[in-house]
Amino acid sequence: MDSSNSNEIVHEFSPFFRIYKNGKVERITADTETVPPSIDPLTGVQTKDTVVSQENSLSVRLFIPKITDPTQKLPLLIYIHGGAFCIESPFSSLYHNYLTDLVHNANVIAVSVQYRRAPEHPLPAAYDDSWAAIQWVASHVNGEGSESWLNGHADFDRTFLAGDSAGANIAHNMAVRAGSTNGLNGVKIVGVVLAHPFFGDNEPDTFSPVIEFIFPSVRIYDDPRINPAGAGGAELASLGCARVLIFVAGKDGLRDRGVRYYEALKRSGWGGMVEIVETEGEDHVFHLLNPNCPKARVMMEKVVSFINHGR
């Protein structure tokens, strides 16, 4: 075999991934440092990993704050990471550190989902895996699931979905699915947090080629999973939660789509409460990249307040 020919790049979607003629996939921009499950020495937050489905290699990272009362029930956060559906994971330092911080500050249990990533697994694999993970969480409602942390400490009547960028897109779609099915077995989704959500637009743009490539079975401009504010926005009315908190960033190229989603949700006939918070002068997922800056701390406080509202 001609090695130079087999190493030829046949598709490149910078800054996410490139594909070589021999089938190799190279992720261009990714946090390759992974963090093992542990006990955080500063906060006492514990983490552990578990496999949800051997068939799909679906796994989650569980986070639990320092427990002082063994009978206490805590809100449950199901978090879906971003990365254009194709990079990052719950095990990267970026997401491990963010979830550790959030779990400590909000005093919640968190389940961070490792869905199958594109391009090896085109969409809708990420949606299907995330829904499977949520149903796995629901299997613990009666205290008879496989994970003791969820059996003993999760308050399933105070469940939240959250995500950033592509993960926020997935979280939205999971809330839609929860609102249109009865498949959650006693899990009540109270609220959804969408940080700098990735949504499509009605016309082609710089994001379109990668989404068209990793979601080849749909017309992305009309598909409500990618463009919920377009295509009539009909599915927004079935959003299966009572409250939504949306964050947008002033310098983010996705900022206007988050605003359009907010406006479409208000018009949709959905009966919940939605709030949008804009951070001026910041770019996409700045709160993950610079978590200790003052604006990121304000954003963290807002998420903590949203989760603990009425608690």
Buried b (16+ CB within 10 A) or exposed e, 11-25: eebeebbbbeeeeee
Alpha-carbon distance of 13 to 207, in angstroms, equals 9
d(CA 202, CA 183): 31
Whether 196 is catalytic: no
Identify whether 284 is a catalytic site residue. Answer: yes
* Contact criterion met (CB below 8 Å) for 287 and 195: yes
Residue 3 CA: distances (Å) to CA of 7, 12, 254: 6, 19, 40
**49, β-bridge pairs:** 61
DSSP letter, residue 171: H
CA pair distance 291, 297, nearest whole angstrom: 7
**Given 96, 121, 284, 287, which residue is catalytic?**
284
Which residue from 183, 187, 196 is spatially nearest to 161, judged by alpha carbons? Answer: 187
Strands (E), 107-176: 109-114, 154-164
> Residues 89, 92, 165, 268: which is the catalytic one?
165
69 DSSP 8-state letter:
-
For the annotated catalytic residues, the residue numbers are 165, 252, 284
